[in-house]
Structure 1
C-alpha cells in the first residue's frame, strides 16, 4: 500500500494527513501533550476533510492520535488564558471549534475513530462526531467540563446524547467520571473494544468492509441517519449559547483553570 502525505504546507504540523489506499488518515500529532487539540488543529480539520473528500479513491477516513498514550486528551489547556478567556476570544474559539466539529459530523464519507489511550473532553466529542469508534482496551474516556467550570456547547451535548441516550449522558456529564474502555462500551460510547495488539486489525477490517460497499448508498444512508439526529426547531440555540458563555465568564471557570495549573482540587461556588 502506498502512503502519501498531503497538506504539509497548508495546515499545522500537529495534524498529519495521509492517503493510504482507500482510506484517508488524519492523525493528531502532539504526543508530548497527549495530542491535546490546539486552535490550529481545529482550524486544520475542515481543510483536511475537504482534501480527502475531493479524492474519489478515498472511501473512508480514519482519525487517530500519534504515539501510544492518547487519541486526543482534550483541549490544549496552555491556550486557555489567551484563547478561552474573555467574551471575544471565547466566541472566536467556539466558532472555529464548532466549524471543525460540524465538518466532521456532517462529512459525506464514512469516518472511523481509532482510539488508543486518553480520549477526553474535546477528544471524546471528536470521536462522537465519527460514525464508528474502535478502541484498545487500555483506553480511557471522560468529559471533565464540570471539573474545569467551562461551557460545553449544545451540539457536543447532542452528540453525547445521540450515542448513549439521555440517561447515560446525564451520568457521564454530571459526574465527570473517568471510564475504562469496557465501561465506555457498556454505556454506548464505543462500537468495538480490542486488545492493544488487535486494534489495527479491527480498524482495517472496518476499512475493508466500508470500501467494498457502494459509496452513494452509504452516503445516502448516513445523511438520513444524521438528519434524524438534528436538533429540532423548538431548541433555543441562542439561549443554549448564552448558557455556555456564562460558564466561560464565571469565577468558577477562573478557579478551575487556576486549580488545574496548581494541580489541586478546585473549590467551586456557583458564581
Structure 2
C-alpha cells in the first residue's frame, strides 16, 4: 500500500488517510473543519485501518498524526452528541467504537508513534496514550475537558492514563480540565520528546526511520514482552512471547546482525 487511500464511496469530511512507504505506515486523522475531531464513523474507520495494517508484511513502524499543524485530534466531534451520544444506551454504543479503535492501536504488534502538533484533547489524548511513543512540536496543547462537558471515563481509559502519567498527574489532568503546553506535558510524562515547530517534521521522520531500520522481529518481541509486563500474563501469552523470541534467534536478520557487527557496518534487515 502506498500513497493516500480514502474509504469506499468517496472521501467524507472526516476520514482516516493511510500511507505505507519504506516500512513506515502513517495514519492521518483528517477533519480539518473541526480541528480533526473524531466522528463515530472515523473511530470505526480507524479500527478497520489498524486491522488491515496488522497484516502488512513490510510494515515496521506505525505513525499516527493529524492533518495540518493546527490539531492532532481535538477530541470527539461534539456536533454528533445530540444523536450519537444523547443517552446512556447511545453512549455505550459510541464508547464501544472508541474502545475498539484505541485497543486496536494499543495492541498493534509493531511499534506505534503519535506525532502531535496543535490541539490534543479528550479522545486525542486517549489515542496518543495508546501509542508506544509520543513526539510533539512546541505548538502542541493538551487538555482533558470531560469535567467541563459532563462526560464520564471508565476504568480502561483511566488505567491507560495512570499507567503513563501516574495517579497524581491523572487526578490533576481530569479534576482541573486545564490546558497544558508541550513543556508541561513532557514534564508530566505525556510526551517522550518535544521539538521546535520548524524542526518537527524533519526530526520526527528521522525518529521513525531509525525505528524502521532496526530488526522488525526484535521490535515486535520487545513490544509484546513490555506490554505483558504491565499485567499478569496468561500462560498462553507467555508462550506466545517465547515463540517470538525463538523466531528472532532463528531469523536471517539475526545472522545479518552478527555479520554486520563483525564487519563494522550498519545491518540491513529484511524482517525474515
Summarize the alignment of residues 87-126 of structure 1 with structure 2, pairs less than 5 Å apart: 87-126=88-127
In terms of Rg, which structure is larger?
Answer: 2
Alignment of 1:209-248 (within 5 A): 209-230=210-231
SS in 2 for 1:119: strand
Q: Taking structure 1 as reference, are residues 12 and 107 closer, same or farther at Cα in structure 2, changes over 3 Å only?
A: farther
Where does 1:109-148 land on structure 2 (aligned, <5 Å)? 109-148=110-149
TM-score, normalised via structure 1 length = 0.81
- Verify the 8 A CA contact 1:146 1:176 in the aligned structure 2: yes
What does residue 7 of structure 2 align with? 8
Separation in 1, partners of 2:47, 2:10: 10
Q: Does 1:29 align with 2:30?
A: yes
Displacement, 1:110? 0.7
Q: How does 1:157-172 map to 2 (within 5 A)?
A: 157-172=158-173
Match of 1:267 in 2: none
Q: For residues 32-84 of structure 1, what are the alpha-carbon distances to aligned partners after superposition, in whole Å with 9 as ceiling and x for unaligned?
A: 10000010110011211122222221111111111221000001000111111
Partner of 1:263: none
Structure 1 residues 230, 96: CA separation in 2 closer, same or farther (over 3 Å shift)?
farther
Q: Distance in 2 between matches of 1:203 and 1:10?
A: 33
The answer to whether 1:56 aligns with 2:57 is yes
Q: Unaligned regions of 5+ residues in structure 2, if any?
A: 234-272
With over 3 angstroms needed to count, the CA separation of the structure-2 counterparts of 1:191 and 1:22, relative to structure 1, is same
Which position in structure 1 is the counterpart of 2:248? none
* Residue number in structure 2 paired with 1:177: 178
Displacement after TM superposition at 1:7 (Å): 5.1
Give the whole-Å Cα distance in 2 for the aligned partners of 1:121 and 1:231.
Answer: 29
> For 1:8 and 1:83, how far apart are their aligned partners in 2?
21
Matched position secondary structure for 1:183: helix
Task: Tell me by how many angstroms 1:231 deviates.
Answer: 8.5
Q: State the alpha-carbon separation in 2 of the partners of residues 136 and 101 from structure 1.
A: 23
Q: Which runs of 5+ in 1 are unaligned?
A: 233-271
Whether the 8 Å contact between 2:122 and 2:144 is mirrored in structure 1 is yes
Structure 2 CA distance, aligned partners of 1:11 and 1:63? 22
Q: Per the alignment, in what secondary structure is the counterpart of residue 6 of structure 1?
A: coil
Assess, with a 3 A threshold, how the Cα gap between structure 1 residues 143 and 7 changes in structure 2: closer, same or farther: same
CA-CA distance at 1:153 after TM superposition: 2.4
RMSD over aligned Cα atoms: 2.0
SS at match of 1:99: helix
CA–CA separation in structure 2 for the residues paired with 1:30 and 1:209: 29
2:43 matched residue in structure 1: 42
SS in structure 1 at match of 2:4? strand
